[in-house]
Structure 1
Amino acid sequence: MTINKGDRMSKDSRLTKEELLAVMHNVQDAIFVIALNKELKIEGFVEVNEAACKQLKYSRKELLSLSPLDIIDPSALHFIYKELQDIMYGKSITIDSMLMTKERERIPVVMSHRMVEMVEDHKFIVCTVRDHRKPGEIQRLLDKVIKQYDSLFYFHPDFVFSLDEKGAITNLNPAGELMLKYELSELIGKSFEIMIPHDEQEKTKDAFQKNIQGQTMQFESAIVNKLQQRIDLNVTSVPIILHDQVIGIIGIARNVTLQNKTKRLLEESEQRYRSLFEFNVDAVLTLDLEGRFLEVNQATERLTGYHADELLEKSFLPLIVPEDRERTFHHFQKALEGNPQQYETSMYNKNDEKMYFHITIIPIFIDRILTGIHCIGKDITEKKRIEEKMNYLAFHDSLTELPNQRLFRFEGNQALKEAKEKRGMIAVCFLDLDRFKFINDYLGHEIGDLLLQKVANRLEKVLKDKGRAFRYGGDEFILLLKNTSEVEVLSTAKNVIENISKPFNLNGFEAVVTASMGISLYPHHGETPFTLIKKADNAMYHAKRQGKNNFQIYGSYVRGMTNGNLKLETLMHKALEQQELLLLYQPQMDAKTNTIYGVEGLIRWNNDELGMVSPQEFIPVAEETGLIVPIGEWVIRTACKQNKEWQQKGLSPIVVSVNLSIRQFYQSDLIEKIDAILKETQLDPCFLELEITESMAMHADTAIVILTELKKLGVKIAIDDFGTGYSSLNYLKRFPIDHLKVDRSFVKDIQVDDDRDIITTIIALGHNLKMKVIAEGVETKEQVAFLKKAKCDILQGYYYSKPLDSKMIEEMLLHQS
């Protein structure tokens, strides 16, 4: 076989792998061979020569374990990505770049790349790298500039980035990677727009375009990071200019998310505060530490009548009424000590009208330093006026405007206390008009009321500064004389009796009325108001038996007179046994439907010896002796039994009301007795109403417990004679009351403006407390018209019917059906 010389030479000239590597290692320039996968993506180094190892200060083994991306300075990566496409098309590409040594030193280089295709379709990139460092001082200066740039770029706490002229990301610092949650390699070559939220796109693109035109920009924008978290940024960006040509931009972005959130919260907080301040219906104002106005809202101007300019920088204290200044200033001082305060005070508005406010003052602390006081003032003027009116009603008689029993008890106790301390004397005089019943019956209730008013006026004139007159009830008055002597008391009593006996002009009719008076003295006759009244009352009855129109001082001869009640008491004990008591029923009419809502059970006593005895005569004796308890129990049982009988006859169910006496109310077994009666008679509790007076509920805490237990039985509760006693609005709200019964004295004087106002006030009060209101003593068409117009719920009186026996009530219910 002949061997061709050329073939032999060709075969001999082939280099082995070892020879090829030897050639690579002898080349002075660094050579890197990079493998590509089937998708033409860089996999890693497959070979490097000794110059490459020397250049980058790695061993061959170390370099072969790295990726090309590990040795290229991040700032130059984008050039590689830009030119990679041309390399894949077989072009030979030479670019300036920057490599990183093992010690992270940057080396400027010139890199030549060419793709080489081997057998079995394997593809590689052969990269020749030539060191492009400048000699001597130039390189040192260049290194210094690079290090300064590196310090600014890599160690800056804010997000530092660079873009090329098309907006592609060319670099970002570690702070940027941390913020974006991306690595640089994931973003290189991608448009910045992919991270900008839709609402910030237009503004951010506009800023980029102005950068490319050579302008420096500072603006607010936002990005969405890899975790889809929105981050607000404050961006400063400047153009990168090379040879008078903008080739990209570099920017610093500061995270202002928390700052913006805080700002928004502060703005919202300010808006909420302004809304609370400006649109509050209450007066809201700010004071400095000296009590001067710093800021006031419109409500303050409206309520006080002063314009803000008239208040600002002026002290609040002169506006407070003199008697409230010391207490108000005390609360202000407490607030200056850091303690919030709530209290009530009063002030004069610009029209010199007195106004009442509920005040809340709150210290203002800024950085733990007290800087001022916030004040909120709720106008309670109307509430105070109603309370004052109700308190006046509670302590004064509405007809004569004299103080009433309640005020006497208070002032009597005070007078006794002072007398005990000073070892002085006081006198209680019980006065009763002798012919009042005749005048009342003969001339009518209007003239009778006029007489009572004139008597009250005359008493006040006679007493002047010597004492004080109180209306006790009906035609009875009490005089209280303090710091007196027996001689002065007798002189005053004589003067009173003489003046009362002078004629009264009663609307053209001249009437002469006399009075009988009984007197008791402290300390001779008692040490409590109750004892002194009782003994003065006994002395007054003795004065009547002495021929009236005179006065008597309590003594042994008066004590004997009380025995006259023994016969009445003895007969009353037999009244229950002999079935002498009877119950009448007065209808209560629904004001809207004019149908019977219920009836009130009224007791009567028909005695063979005494005849028909009025409750006004025997009830006080029953109260004093305790007989009222069994009598009251009889009344409740009889009323319940009768009501059940009406229902069993098929009549419309109605409520029956009965009065509880004070002794009954505070009986320890009251609840058990009523419960037993209801079960005995089988009456549904909702058809029984128990009436108590205001004075019975004076011991409010105990009364609330009793009333609550009664309500648990299911019965209804009414306050009787409302407006003549004493009721605290606070306790009245807490009592489980169904009805308020307006006292007949107000209804009787309904033509008087004051009484009309009182009735209207009581009805409004009852309705506000979710109670129905019953008017007693309705006798005329005019009274009915007024009460219906005032929205009174239930009417009771002679206009509709007098008290009737059970048969007549039954007929009315049948007729109503």
Structure 2
Amino acid sequence: MDLIASKILIVDDHHANRVVLEKLLQPLTNIDIYHAASGEETLALLIYHKFALILLDVNMPNMDGYEVAELISSTEAHKHTPIVMLTAHHSNTQNIIKAYQSGAVDYLTKPIEPTILINKVKQFVKLNQLHVKTEQLKAESELILECAGQGVLKLDDRGFIQFANSKSAQLLNTTPEKLCQSHFNRCFKNTANVEENLFKSIQDRLDKHNAVQLQNIYLTSNDACPCPVELTCSTEVNTPNASTIVLFQDITLRLNMEKKLTTLANYDPLTKLANRSYFHDQLERAINRSKRNNGSVILLMLDLDHFKQINDTLGHDIGDELLQDVAKRITDMLRETDISARLGGDEFAILLEDTSELAAEQVANKIVTIMSSPFVIQDKEIFIETSIGISHSKGGQIDKMTLLKWADIALYEAKSAGRNRYQRFVESMSIQREKQAFIQNKLRHIIEDNALDLHFQPQYSIKQKMFIGVESLVRWPESGYGDEIISPAVFIPISEQSHLIHEIGAFVLIESCKLLASWNLQADKAHLTVSVNLSAKQLNSPNFLDVLEEIISEYQFPFNRLILEITETAILTHTESVMRTIDALKSMGIKLALDDFGTGYSSLNYLQNIPFDVIKIDQCFTQRVTKCKKTSALIQAVMTIARVCEMEVVAEGVEELTQLEHILALGVDKVQGYYYSKPLSKYQVNLLLTTTVNAQQNHESSLLLK
């Protein structure tokens, strides 16, 4: 830090004396010398300058040195300016005392000894420079304190404020002057313990640590708006009656930001429920608590049934509003201690602590009930159902991942049982799920090895007395993949839970098209059709048509020989995308069959709006036709509808002659079932068809010979 030159004022009414003094001071550096010929000039210079030292002659006209010194000492700005009186050699003690009384700090007698003068002036200049440096440091410190974003307080050993910067006064809505001598405890309180003597608590901590930091402190000045602050306190070490320095800042914005970040990190932005990560953390904590107190933890996993259809048909905006309303219905019926979460999509979870399994089932049943009530969103009445899986842990014996897995298994069972219900986990479910996982893994290897078997069950026309086509039926391979042969009723639903159904579907289409292409080259088989089952996932797949077109373009056959069988469940959504797919299939010349008619959500609306070519009566009707008049009446009604709509009818599951006779009597001409043939391999079905054609031709030839 560079110091400016110290100013020295020489006051003497004789010019020559001033010049002599200035020459005597020439050896000194970093000084500026000013002259004044009278007391009046001296006072005038003091208006604009602050001097390090004044050399003042006593004997001057009008206003002598004593009077000038007295006036200088009486001013606030210059009362500390050192004055050295220059007196005659004959001055007596009384004059020297008078000089001191007037405000002088020293005196020199004339003639002046140069060495004494220089040394005295040098010391005063040095003192002045130290003073200036101290003042500069003080000014800088005060500037820093004033510009600091924090409030700064200096407290005495009793807790009274000795210094307060502007920021502290601003935060406390007062002035630094009013703050000084106020007690610290009047301005700050600990929200965790409002009765605490905060200053004493700080002092106790400072006895052990050089500095302490405190949270949860609020301003409590009568004039201040309550706001949270952070305190940092320190004190001088090993000093009796040491002052305490307190830094504090308003942390309202920081706390708000932390709250926002916590919300973003732990809560779902759409529903405001806990998110997956936070819920898993709370579940872990709940299990740990239950270990300590032998409590119970119950987990409910919820899934909205067919929610995707709402997004697809009504749009994601309505879907989002529905999720918000679902979340509200859930939270409105729970206790404050219960935790609900949105795990993602339309999947929710609820954590219940210290409750019984019976009470948890009552909660689940209530949720199923309240979700069944219609939701009104954007003037649209929306109905939705939910399936719930429940798992339970007592005394922390079940870990988090197992509890989640069990709830998920129970949820799957609830869906498999028909949806819109809850299911509590039992041990046998886990065994079943493990078996399903085993089957899925085996199935994946079978597909990769291209080892699936495809069988074909013939369809027979009673009136024409000939086979008219086959239905393609995929089968588990008979060897190389374990001792157990898995039924399609088991592995097809499992494949539909993954993308394996698309690979199976493509395999069946390819093999069926190969068969049609080979029959197209044989005159006696060119009339035959091949029916292929189409799953709901295939029908709803956005690239299904591309896959189908790529397959059928490889083979030569009339496309009306390919019949795609669609179940009622597959077209339940009746979405625009499904209808576009159906229209595209019809435009390609492919025939459509409504499979298992009467077993799903039967609706005449399907027959009116979807251009089916064939209705397939499910085997459950065929096998009851000999025993139930109502079944016969239903089949007869289907035949009437089919005639009006110009659709063919095929009865599935014909196994006995009596069934065949009843079916034929009701007007059904085309049948499929074990009475005529079980599903056969490709070789076997070709052999059957060839043998049948030859036998028919031989029979016709024998009639001609007669």
- Larger Cα-atom Rg: 1
Q: Which of the pair has the greater relative contact order for Cα pairs under 8 Å at 6+ separation?
A: 2
Structure with the higher fraction of residues in strand conformation: 1
